[in-house]
Structure 1
Amino acid sequence: MAYRHPLAFLLGYEGLALHRAYAGEFGARFVEARLDEIRAMVAAWDRGELGTVDHVGEIDTVAGYRHWSRTYDEPGNPLIAVDEPLVRDILAGLPPGHALDAACGTGRFSALLADRGCTVVGVDSSEDMLGRAHDKVRSGVFALGDLRRLPLPDSSFDIVTCGLALAHLPALGPAFAELARVLKPGGHLVTSDIHWQSLYLGGIAAVVDDSGLEARLPAGRFRPSDYITAALSAGLEIRQCHEPSWPPSPHQGGPFARTWAAGAVDAACENTPAAIIWSFRRVP
């Protein structure tokens, strides 16, 4: 259960911005502007203008994506805008073949693979997401399954993708072992996830549940070394790693944070990694 205090949320951005200023990234005028904002926020909280404290629980990925499947592909998800161009570029450098989109969701990567001339199989734990994926890639074969127990034979795919899913798991090792198992020797694995640093900037995915309350999906804060350890243990070698930053955006942080602390939000997010994208190869 997360305890969410609106003033604390805003002060978190201010604190990150001021730490960067303390390290020399910003000058006196910036610091004084942040301190003025903090005084204004505290006064607004005392006047009851910042809203109220709430408590947010967690929802499992199956239930969570049942709700999210309705809007997942709608414009406005900044993480998709960050990861998709890089994944497309990586796939463009691989020869087409038999491909698995593991935790395929609505079929974002399935569509990229199909466009590359691959035959596509998609697996996901959400029936609702699978329905969206099938609508998007009619030539694909889609099946219900768990990322850690894929219902597929060994060494059967030339390419495996896994987009924005591994960070929902409590540990990376079992999933990487499965992804490597279904890859042919010499086959390629391409993954993307939200970067752990962005989870501290409010990047944890949330949905409105059946009771009308907001609930968060599980989010593991995996460092690059965690991915490396899991991949090497599974018999994979690293080909590429990308940590793209959030692009400048007038929407960064959301409307509430921007109303009270736009300068702090922009400073806190500047050059902060948004996603981590890997390309691996199964050792022949």
Structure 2
Amino acid sequence: MSYEHPLAYLLGIEGLALLRGFTGDHDREFTEARIAEIRRLLDEPWTGVEVDRVGAADGYRIWSRTYDQPGNGAFAIDEPELRRIIDPLPPGTALDAACGTGRYARLLADRGHRVLGVDGSPEMLDHARPRVPEAEFRLGDLRGLPVDDASVDLVTCGLALTHLPDLTPAFAEFARVLRPGGHLVVVDMHPESVARGSIPSVRDQDGRPGRLPAHRHLVGDYLRAALPRGFQVRDCREPVAELGGTPEPADSPGPWDVWPWSLMAMVPEAARAVYPGSPVMLVWHFQLA
């Protein structure tokens, strides 16, 4: 269990903004305004929230009911990045590992691939099957994929590896199922994004708040997991955040379900100094030697 306090997040954003000022991005007026804002925040009454740590299987069982609803800003970033990489590749047999509701599987099938999807959540697969009826879907784990050796030409894995404490078993499985020369596309949450609180939230049947597992894998962690398995780096990109305009100032943190996004509106100048230009995802294109 963790304890999420809105003041802790707000002070963290103010601290990041002050570091930007300290290293030359902002002037004296900005820095003094941040310090004054911190003093004001410290005088406000606050209430924190006890938050459960929810396993990935339970989390996605709950989240499956609303996962595809509009409003998930990650989809606007990861799908264009995926299309950029897979569009030049010839159709073949493609594995969508941790396929969820079949977002990537749909894109792969539309490009002529024979698609196999694997996910650890039966509930997510229930949404994927009608979405991509021509694909085959199997229940399975990233660390033990129910796929034959050297049987696929392309593996995609989106927004899933951050749930694993260790990347090595998953990359070993990707290398096992790929044919020589096959391609691997990994889209994952950037460690800076995880550190800023971009962690999926759910509520259980009793309404208790919970967060899914989110591990801060550094850029080097992916390389240390991939290179010894025979992967070569074809491309690596770090899409950045767009704040989406100036946040309307707010006087309250809003409901827990929209933390930390609603908290940004309480410190809009600090948020504008921190978020634009900050990486939100890591996008890898590997090829198996």
Same fold by TM (over 0.5)?
A: yes
Cα distance in structure 2, aligned partners of 1:246 and 1:256: 16
Distance (whole Å) between structure 1 residues aligned to residue 274 and residue 195 of structure 2: 11
Which of 133, 139, 144 is 2:139 aligned to? 144
CA distance in 2, matches of 1:75, 1:31: 37
Q: CA deviation at 1:22?
A: 0.6
Per-residue CA deviations over 1:22-42 (Å, capped at 9, x if unaligned) read 100011221122123222212
Equivalent pairs counted in the alignment come to 277
Moved over 2 A (4+): 250-253
Within 5 Å, give how 1:81-92 maps onto structure 2. Answer: 81-92=76-87
The answer on whether the counterparts of 1:190 and 1:277 sit within 8 Å (CA) in structure 2 is yes
Q: Contact 2:10–2:267 at 8 Å: present in 1 too?
A: yes
Change (3 A) 1:237 1:117: same
Question: Does 2:249 match 1:254?
Answer: no
1:83-127 alpha-carbon deviations (Å, 9 max, x no partner): 110111100021111111000001111011011110111000000
SS in 2 for 1:187: strand
Q: 1:251 to 1:91 in 2, by over 3 A?
A: farther
CA contact (8 A) 1:3 1:56 kept: yes
**Cα deviation, residue 66, structure 1:** 0.7
| Structure 2 residues not aligned, in runs of 5+ | 248-259
Q: Distance in 1 between matches of 2:246 and 2:27?
A: 24
Query: Aligned match of 1:278 in 260, 279, 284?
Result: 284
Q: Does the residue aligned with 1:161 lie in a helix, a strand or coil?
A: strand
Which whole-Å CA distance do the structure 2 matches of 1:250 and 1:105 have between them?
31
Give the % identical residues: 49
**Pairwise CA distance, 1:247:** 1.7
The within-5 A match list for 1:42-191 is 42-45=42-45, 50=46, 52-191=47-186
1:255 is aligned with what amino acid? Answer: S
Contact 1:207 1:215 in 2 (8 A): yes
Preserved CA contact (<8 Å) 1:245 1:272: yes
Q: Is the 8 A contact 2:159 2:187 kept in 1?
A: yes
Q: 2:215 aligns with which of 211, 220, 224?
A: 220
**Alpha-carbon offset, residue 235 of structure 1:** 1.3
Match in the other structure for 1:22 = 22
Deviation at 1:231, TM superposition (A): 0.6
Q: Is the 8 A contact 2:195 2:216 kept in 1?
A: no
Structure 1's unaligned 5+ residue stretches are none
Cα deviations by residue, 1:224-269 (Å, 9 ceiling, x for unpaired): 11101111121111111010101232487522331x2011112121
Q: Distance in 2 between matches of 1:274 and 1:145?
A: 27
Question: Which is worse superposed, 237-246 or 265-274?
Answer: 265-274
**Residue number in structure 1 paired with 2:257:** none
- CA contact under 8 A between 1:79 and 1:194: conserved in structure 2? no
SS of structure 1 residue aligned to 2:210: strand
Aligned twin of 1:34: 34
Please state how far the C-alpha of 1:16 moved relative to its aligned partner. 0.5
Deviation, structure 1 residue 4? 1.4
CA contact (8 A) 1:96 1:118 kept: yes
Question: What is residue 268 of structure 1 aligned with on the other side?
Answer: 274
Given the two structures, how large is their TM-score scaled by the length of structure 1?
0.94
Two-structure CA RMSD over aligned residues (Å): 1.3
Helix, strand or coil: the match of 1:121?
A: strand
Distance 2:112 2:231 in 1: 24
Letter in 2 for 1:248: L
Which residue identity is paired with 1:256? L
- CA distance in 1: counterparts of 2:103 and 2:229, whole angstroms: 25
1:188 is paired with a residue of what secondary structure?
Answer: strand
